[in-house]
Amino acid sequence: MNNPTKGLTGSIVAIVTPMREDKSIDFEALARLIEWHVREGTQGICVAGTTGESATLNVEEHTQVCAFTVAQVSGRVPVIAGAGANSTSEAVELTQMAKGIGASATLQVAPYYVRPTQEGLYQHFTRIAEAVDLPLLLYNVPARTGVDIELATTLRLAKVGGVAGVKDATGSIERASEILHARPNGFGLYSGDDATAAALMLLGGEGTISVTANVAPTLMARLCEAARSGDARAAARLHLQLMPLHKSLFIESSPSPTKWALAQLEKIEAHCRLPLLSLSETAQPLVLRAMQEAGLFTPR
């Protein structure tokens, strides 16, 4: 597989899964979100990930959301399908689904809760990569999974055919620097932490799989363009403009703040599925203030 990360660059939105009041999936709203992102310069869509509430989607819904997104995008930007699981066999099945619907790549989170060893992680991701011929992005988010894909394991996996890159959500610029220093050609590094995304890209990372891009797609696309072209001043200006939003979108469990913010922009309804709740009234003014500071449209 020659340079599997080609085309997977810039601002890739970790898109929410819109839901109605009865908690059914709102596909009409999802279609509108996708069209908005394409117009505003988002360079890729990651569907059915953490921000897409994948943990609350059943297998049929997971497939429907991914297939709908691929069809709606219709090749205009890459689509990364969330296909991770804490069971290797289930992750293989989801990856086979992603290939069947025409996704550009999959995002594979470290198995959560079971806390595998580093060798277990290596064998898990290798098995998926060998089973399905589709670029695979590792997803390292130890704060959620309880296990870190350590640097040595990441670099070992980077040599496995089909393992195209890593979404690093540790927020550690030191870790990012170590990956950039030692990675083989064609292995992409993507930020999974909006607050450090600009720095990661200025160092040479390919892009960000972003929560903030849900709410501020144009600004995140501009930030990525500036950072990836080496325009540190412009990247810093946009980073500081967005920093309050980066923080406020995690003031309560994600994606509750993001969905509430999108509801203020009249893009979707703010509903989440249990055990997640809609954003509390206490937190709402803080998110609204951050939206105002970013210069986004806010209610009259």
Which DSSP state fits 112?
P
pLDDT at 237 over 60: yes
Q: Which amino acid is at 197?
A: A
Q: Residue 4 corresponds to which tokens in the numbers above?
A: 């599997």
Residue-wise pLDDT for 47-70, tens only, equals: 999 999 999 999 999 999 999 999
Mean pLDDT of the chain: 96
Which DSSP state fits 268?
S
pLDDT at 44 over 70: yes
Closest among 165, 168, 203 to 184, alpha carbons compared: 165
Q: Are 55 and 77 in contact (CB under 8 A)?
A: no
Domains plus CATH for the chain?
10-231 (3.20.20.70)
User: Which position among 6, 112, 167, 190 bears the catalytic label?
Assistant: 167
Q: Are 95 and 112 in contact (CB under 8 A)?
A: no
User: Which position among 139, 247, 259, 267 bears the catalytic label?
Assistant: 139
pLDDT of residue 1: 42
Q: Are 216 and 242 in contact (CB under 8 A)?
A: yes
Spatial separation of the C-alpha atoms in residues 12 and 289, rounded to whole Å: 25
Helix, strand, coil share of the chain (percent; to 5): 45, 15, 40
Report pTM. 0.96
What is the rounded average pLDDT of the residues 266-293? 97
Spatial separation of the C-alpha atoms in residues 241 and 246, rounded to whole Å: 10
pLDDT at 143 over 70: yes
pLDDT of residue 7: 83
Spatial separation of the C-alpha atoms in residues 109 and 172, rounded to whole Å: 18
**C-alpha dihedral over 257, 261, 267, 269, to 10 degrees?**
50
pLDDT of residue 6: 65
Ranges 6-10, 44-48, 86-90, 103-107: which has the least confidence: 6-10
pLDDT of residue 49: 96
113 part of the active site: no
State the pLDDT confidence band at 27, using cuts at 50, 70 and 90.
very high
